Amino acid sequence: MNAHWGQRGVALLIAAFLFLFLVVPVAKVIIVAFQAPGTGAFTLVNFQDFFNTSLFREAFWNSLYVAAISVLVATAFAMPLAYFTTRFEFRGAVIVQTLGIIPLIMPPFVGAVAMQLLFGTNGSVNLMLEEWVGINIPFMDGLNGVIFVESIHYFPFILINLSASLNNIDRAMEESAQNLGASGFRLFRRIVFPLAMPGYVAGASLVFIKVFDDLGTPLLLNVNTLLAPQAYLRISSIGITDPMGYVISVILVGFSLFAMWVAALALRGKDYGTEQRGGGGLAKRRMRPWEGVLSYGVIGLILLLVLSPHIGLTLLSFGTIWSFSVLPDGYTINHYREVFEQSPQFVTNTMLYASLAALVDVTIGTAIAYLVLRTKIAARKWLDYTAMAALAVPGVVLGIGYLRTFFGVQLPWSGQPLASWWVVLVIALSVRRLPYALRACTAALQQLSVALEEAAENLGAGKLTTVRRIVVPLMVGGILAGFVTSFATAAVELSATIMLVSRESDAPLAYGLYVFMQTAAGRGPGAALGIIAVLIVGIATYLSHRVIERGQKARGLADEY
């Protein structure tokens, strides 16, 4: 296929967007990493310092270890949920899939408090364990604590992408394998899982990079011998302007890109595209009774574990005082009342910002995936890499970069600085969450055989028509998965938000959470606000699953077997 002028135009537009809203603002901040502390001249001496510092080397290995093990643990959570719900006739599959995304929304601060109250040294679980068996398990201590929380928090990336992939597998493949005598685990290992590989790799690489770059969890556990918190602590401490914080940011970005490249290698040279589409994926089999009991049991246990932070959060939002005890002292609905009386605009702002950001993300994500996989435009891979780099940029760096780049620019109609316009907040959110949508869209397109598009073009359809009528409809599962992950995580983003909010009336929910969590009395209302965020995302996810299901039914295929 030769590059079409329209494709070039789209590529240029996206490149301009990424350049203006990601590369320039970030470069304006992390340029310090390349400047000599005394003179401001260009130098690499700061990088030399990084590798000469034992604390940073230790932090690097710790981050690598935590990220790798978290991928394994997250896989163990996600695999059964994805497999059982897509492979079998499973009651409540939509509910499981919806609940499965909830852990992605760990509201800042309150999420931490809820986790400590449940799993901390003196949390509910340990208080009960001490009472009954006299032991205390350090769930939340050190690197293992980080792995525990990270894998609970980020396993939905694997779940969502793997499920989308499983649903996209051509049933004919499975049937041929069965005709050739494969069944059971062998069928899964040799046929089903390899075909779902693009989704798994998309999810696993997201988990790896996200955990490697994650700030929130280590900070909540006060573990600071990891790279991301080291960068953050150095960037945000008062008065000191240590270039090392920015050096670490550069290294985080570089290493994340390297990990992306490795993940792409894993899929290279294989063709995952299959022709039959929209058939609801694998044949759904009815489970034998004992299988049913077993799989419901496994899924129930996993859900209980991964949703426990949210159970804690619910208790916190209804509890009066909860201190050094298994459960709160009493219950009340006043926290919710306070939230609704004081700040209903937080909720509406969040819905508006997160859905706009997610919409931008799936649009750009689909476009980049198409350009990378279906065209030969020069340097197209760099669009992908640049967009993914956003994953490794700390929110505070992006926030400062936006202020630095856009505060001097005035809006023509109001004279207000561009940086204080709420739309900039949406752009910041969409840049930060673009990688999630991008990976989901890429995986979806990888599973789509190019033969379908060629057929359409042979029949006379133009490029745009092919994309609109063939590619996008067949990718819809992946696009929705991308929308949901971007939406869910944008709804609770805080670190760039807090830099950019310039009017309380424009502030989203995460900012409200921050404001509540500054005071001892704000803990309950903060938790209530967190639960509202969870509900918003839960409902959005549920609805989008229903949309997929209805789409499949409309094509008359889902209930065929």
Partner 1 sequence: MSTSRILRRAVLLLAVAPALLGLPTQGQAAEDKVIVVTSFPKDLTGKFKSEFEKRNPGVKVEILSKNTSSGIKYVQETAANNTSDIFWASAPDAFEVLKGDGLLQKYTPKVAGIPEKVGAYPINDPDGYYTGFAAAGYGIMWNTRYLKAKKLKPAKEWADLAKPVYHGHVGMSAPSRSGTTHLTVETVLQGEGWEKGWASWKEMAGNFKTVTERSFGVPDGVNSGDFGFGIVIDFFGLSSQASGFPVEFVYPTVTTLVPANVAILKNSPHPQAAAAFIEFLLSPEGQTTLLDPKIRRLPVNPATYAKAPPGFPNPFKDKSIGAVVKFDVDLSKRRYNVVNSLFDVMVTYRLDDLKAATRAIQKAQAAAAKRPNDEKVAGLIKEARALVAAVPVTEAQASDPGFSKVFKKKRRKKTDKLPQRQAEVEEQWDAFVTKNYAEALAKAEQALSMAR
Report the site for partner 1 in 423-462 (rule: CB under 8 A): none
Asked if 320 is part of the footprint of partner 1 (rule: CB under 8 A), the reply reads yes
71 or 149: whose CB is closer to partner 1?
A: 149
Structure tokens at 300: 């129930």
120 or 281: whose CB is closer to partner 1?
A: 120
Asked if 517 is part of the footprint of partner 1 (rule: CB under 8 A), the reply reads yes
Asked if 144 is part of the footprint of partner 1 (rule: CB under 8 A), the reply reads no
127 or 173: whose CB is closer to partner 1?
A: 127
Out of 50, 77, 155, 200, the residue judged to bind partner 1 by CB under 8 A: 50
Q: What is the helix (H) or strand (E) element at residue 41, kind and residue range?
A: none
Positions of E strands within 181-288 = none
Q: Closest distance between partner 1 and the C-beta of residue 499, in Å?
A: 6
Q: Closest distance between partner 1 and the C-beta of residue 55, in Å?
A: 6
422-446 and 344-374 helices cross at what angle (nearest 10)?
Answer: 40
**Exposure of 116 by Cβ count < 10 A (0-12 exposed, 13-18 middle, 19+ buried)?**
middle
Contact assessment for residue 91 and residue 165, using Cβ atoms and an 8 Å cutoff:
no
Q: Closest distance between partner 1 and the C-beta of residue 234, in Å?
A: 9
**258-266, 412-420, 462-470, 539-547 -> range binding partner 1 (CB under 8 A):** 412-420
What CA–CA distances, in Å, run from 194 to 100, 190, 199, 200, 476?
23, 6, 10, 9, 21
Out of 79, 95, 450, 498, the residue judged to bind partner 1 by CB under 8 A: 498
Nearest of 440, 490, 366, 428 to residue 22 by alpha carbon? 428
Out of 15, 26, 46, 357, the residue judged to bind partner 1 by CB under 8 A: 46
Q: Residue count at the site for partner 1 (CB under 8 A)?
A: 71
Out of 404, 450, 455, 557, the residue judged to bind partner 1 by CB under 8 A: 404
Asked if 518 is part of the footprint of partner 1 (rule: CB under 8 A), the reply reads yes
Contact assessment for residue 143 and residue 59, using Cβ atoms and an 8 Å cutoff:
no
Out of 9, 19, 27, 40, the residue judged to bind partner 1 by CB under 8 A: 40
Distance CA 65, CA 305 (A): 23
Neighbour count for residue 281 (Cβ, 10 Å): 25
What CA–CA distances, in Å, run from 182 to 26, 173, 501, 555?
52, 11, 57, 29
Q: Which of residues 225-244 bind partner 1 (CB under 8 A)?
A: 225, 229, 233, 236-244
Contact assessment for residue 322 and residue 117, using Cβ atoms and an 8 Å cutoff:
yes
156 or 401: whose CB is closer to partner 1?
A: 401
Distance CA 143, CA 211 (A): 12
Q: Closest distance between partner 1 and the C-beta of residue 560, in Å?
A: 53
Neighbour count for residue 51 (Cβ, 10 Å): 12
Q: Which of residues 190-219 bind partner 1 (CB under 8 A)?
A: 219
Asked if 408 is part of the footprint of partner 1 (rule: CB under 8 A), the reply reads yes
Asked if 323 is part of the footprint of partner 1 (rule: CB under 8 A), the reply reads yes
Asked if 412 is part of the footprint of partner 1 (rule: CB under 8 A), the reply reads no
Phi then psi for residue 323, to 5 deg, are -145, 120
21 or 514: whose CB is closer to partner 1?
A: 514
Out of 503, 546, 553, 555, the residue judged to bind partner 1 by CB under 8 A: 503
Out of 42, 132, 520, 556, the residue judged to bind partner 1 by CB under 8 A: 520
Asked if 414 is part of the footprint of partner 1 (rule: CB under 8 A), the reply reads no
**34-42, 95-103, 270-278, 433-441 -> range binding partner 1 (CB under 8 A):** 34-42
Asked if 403 is part of the footprint of partner 1 (rule: CB under 8 A), the reply reads yes
Q: Which of residues 55-74 bind partner 1 (CB under 8 A)?
A: 55
Distance CA 335, CA 526 (A): 8
- HSE-CB at 313 with a 13 A cutoff on CA atoms is 26
34 or 272: whose CB is closer to partner 1?
A: 34
Distance CA 372, CA 548 (A): 25
Distance CA 259, CA 73 (A): 18
241 or 348: whose CB is closer to partner 1?
A: 241
Nearest of 484, 514, 511 to residue 102 by alpha carbon? 484
Q: Closest distance between partner 1 and the C-beta of residue 3, in Å?
A: 40
Distance CA 483, CA 490 (A): 10
Q: Is 410 helix (H, G, I), strand (E, B) or coil?
A: strand
**32-40, 172-180, 265-273, 295-303 -> range binding partner 1 (CB under 8 A):** 32-40
Q: Which of residues 332-351 bind partner 1 (CB under 8 A)?
A: none
Q: Closest distance between partner 1 and the C-beta of residue 395, in Å?
A: 11
Out of 32, 228, 383, 429, the residue judged to bind partner 1 by CB under 8 A: 32
Mask of contacts with partner 1, 113-132, x by CB under 8 A?
x--xx--xxxx---------
